[in-house]
């Protein structure tokens, strides 16, 4: 259902407010550059700092521009099940194609707690759900057994895997099947993840290199491995630079260099250091994104 290069969208700000015009222009550019899908209001979109009204508005703005050209997977996750349900129902109402739900963070649920959380969300609205497993931020890891149990529910359709474990997609494919969409959330392991049974990526790097990221996935599908490996190597330094400080601070700075938005962030995130700016600029030049 979902595959290829899917962008975890930044949320542009200007003077403390969501820059709606910049965001919609950015979404349209992403689609024109070949991006296969869009994720508004994920971590890269600074969802923890958006009000509920802003969160809902950003989803609406994205769906409005996409116009069905590519799927919109709305970020709707929360460590509060009731809040996650409310965000899911809104995404369904405004015709998002799916929702992305992070494993509940901070309260550290058990595997049974994770199952019951996702089942409650699943039962709240008839919309496809992608599980987001990122132990580095949530401090808990969904087991393959729990994921397989959830995958039996008709609307649990895939996972964004940010574990960094490239053995896991093989085990997941063998344990759940090939119809369960496995998407990596780690730009640095895209090719390895695809080789191990993945079908795409929810990418930070594609915010600033959408055409290159899309071409890598298209080349993988056509088995043009020389091109795949060339793009992998070209993007490698950029993938690293965009995580030299906490995401999305580096990628927002990178997007500002392309004139796509300001580099403005919301506290507790702050502008990246001068040394980090140099890393980002150098990596973008190396990738051919800046003169």
For residues 200 and 188, what is the distance between their CA atoms, to the nearest angstrom? Answer: 13
Task: Please answer whether residues 289 and 258 qualify as being in contact, where contact means their C-beta atoms are separated by less than 8 angstroms.
Answer: yes
Q: Which residues pair with 98 in a beta bridge?
A: 73
Which element (helix H / strand E) includes 150? Answer: helix 144-151
For residues 99 and 222, what is the distance between their CA atoms, to the nearest angstrom? Answer: 29
Place of tokens 């109402």: 93
For residues 53 and 211, what is the distance between their CA atoms, to the nearest angstrom? Answer: 32
Catalytic residue among 132, 215, 253, 260: 132
What are the DSSP E strand ranges found in the chain? 4-8, 13-14, 17-18, 37-39, 73-75, 98-102, 129-133, 156-161, 181-184, 200-203
Closest by Cα among 241, 187, 177, 254 to 216: 187
Catalytic residue among 3, 160, 252, 279: 160
Compute the radius of gyration of the chain from its Cα atoms.
18
Q: Is residue 115 among the annotated active site residues?
A: no
Give the tokens for residue 251.
């990628």
Longest pairwise C-alpha distance within the chain = 52
Q: Is residue 160 among the annotated active site residues?
A: yes
Catalytic residues: 132, 160
């Amino acid at each position: 259902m979902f595959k290829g290069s899917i962008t975890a969208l930044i949320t542009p700000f200007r003077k403390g407010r969501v820059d709606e015009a910049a965001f919609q222009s950015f979404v349209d550019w992403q689609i024109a550059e070949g991006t296969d899908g869009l994720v508004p209001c994920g971590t890269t979109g600074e969802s923890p700092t958006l009000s509920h009204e802003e969160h809902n508005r950003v989803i609406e703005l994205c769906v409005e521009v996409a116009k069905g050209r590519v799927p919109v997977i709305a970020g709707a996750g929360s460590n509060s099940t009731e809040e996650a349900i409310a965000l899911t129902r809104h995404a369904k109402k405004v015709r998002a194609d799916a929702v992305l739900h992070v494993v509940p963070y901070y309260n550290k649920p058990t595997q049974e707690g994770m199952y019951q959380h996702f089942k409650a969300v699943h039962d709240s609205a008839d919309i496809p759900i992608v599980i987001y497993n990122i132990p580095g931020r949530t401090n808990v890891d969904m087991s393959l057994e729990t994921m397989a149990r959830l995958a039996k529910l008709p609307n649990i359709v895939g996972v964004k895997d940010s574990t960094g474990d490239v053995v896991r997609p093989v085990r997941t494919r063998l344990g759940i099947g090939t119809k369960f969409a496995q998407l990596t959330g780690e730009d640095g392991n895209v090719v390895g993840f695809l080789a191990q049974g993945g079908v795409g990526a929810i990418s930070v790097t594609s915010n600033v290199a959408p055409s290159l990221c899309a071409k890598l996935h298209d080349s993988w599908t056509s088995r043009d491995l020389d091109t795949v490996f060339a793009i992998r190597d070209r993007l490698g330094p950029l993938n690293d630079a965009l995580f030299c400080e906490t995401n999305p601070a580096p990628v927002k700075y990178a997007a500002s260099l392309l004139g796509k938005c300001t580099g403005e962030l919301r506290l507790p995130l702050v502008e990246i250091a001068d040394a980090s700016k140099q890393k980002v600029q150098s990596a973008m030049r190396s990738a051919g994104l800046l003169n």
